[in-house]
Amino acid sequence: MTQGGWISTLKEEGAVRPRRTLSEEAADNLREFILLGKLEPGTSIPERELADALGISRTPLREALRLLEIEGLVEYSATRRPRVADPSLQELTQYISVLGALEALAGETACVEATGPEIAEIQKLGHSMAEGSSEMTALQFFQLDMRFHSSIVEASRNEPLIETHRQYNARLWRARFLSSQQVDRRDNTLSQHADITTALVARDAKATRRALRDHLKSTISNITRIHEARDAEQTED
């Protein structure tokens, strides 16, 4: 095999996969704790104790916190002390409204740009959620839900749109997770996913756009319910 030939083969089959860093592993652990509510919004994050608990130095921990800050899960006080983010309902609804517009545009564009296999994969994700809904943990259901949405956005093949969506979605991880946890609304979520998929398969841009907007409006309703319930509990306390 010529030099050019084996280099091409190596690129296709033998590319070295990057290892996950300590900061990425730490971010994964903290993200799960925050999403599952083991670290409540507003909770201070003691760097020294946390680094010891994770078995890492403070340098990768600080990088992990920076990653979570980008995702909107961690914020810093005026004195640069990290804590679990606690965005207001107004902030969340504004972000979700923008996200809804982005996903609606992505869905509309995907009707034209998506390949058959890409649409089939989106269908498969929707079916997996529906079939495994009763058996999945909240985190598993959420992760599959995010893959469903990101797959639609990526199928638009619009790089600025994909990147903007990624940035907005990153700041809504906890909010969207809490919304997906509403078991009594899960059937509604699956029904809306079916509407999205049906419209996408038919390459009906108008119907896909409308279905995605309606779906994100439901997220706003879920988040509003959660915040109102939390405010009521705090008032009682």
Structure-model confidence comparison of residues 120 and 1, the more confident one: 120
How buried is residue 33: exposed, middle or buried, by Cβ count under 10 Å (0-12/13-18/19+)?
middle
Last residue of a domain, which of 29, 53, 84? 84
DSSP label at 38?
S
Residue 6 has pLDDT above 50, yes or no: no
The dihedrals phi and psi of 14, each to the nearest 5 degrees, come to: -120, 20
Segments in 45-85 forming alpha helices (H): 47-54, 58-70
Q: How far is CA 120 from CA 147, 197, 212, in A?
A: 14, 9, 18
Region 66-82: mean pLDDT is 90
pLDDT at 163: 93
Hey, which residues does 75 pair with through a beta bridge? 83
CB 164 within 8 A of CB 102: yes
pLDDT at 144: 92
Q: Which two tokens stand for residue 231?
A: 């405010």
Last residue of a domain, which of 84, 106, 129? 84
Last residue of a domain, which of 84, 108, 138? 84
Residue 82 has pLDDT above 90, yes or no: yes
Output the average pLDDT for the chain: 86
Whether residue 182 sits in one domain with residue 158 = yes
pLDDT at 19: 64
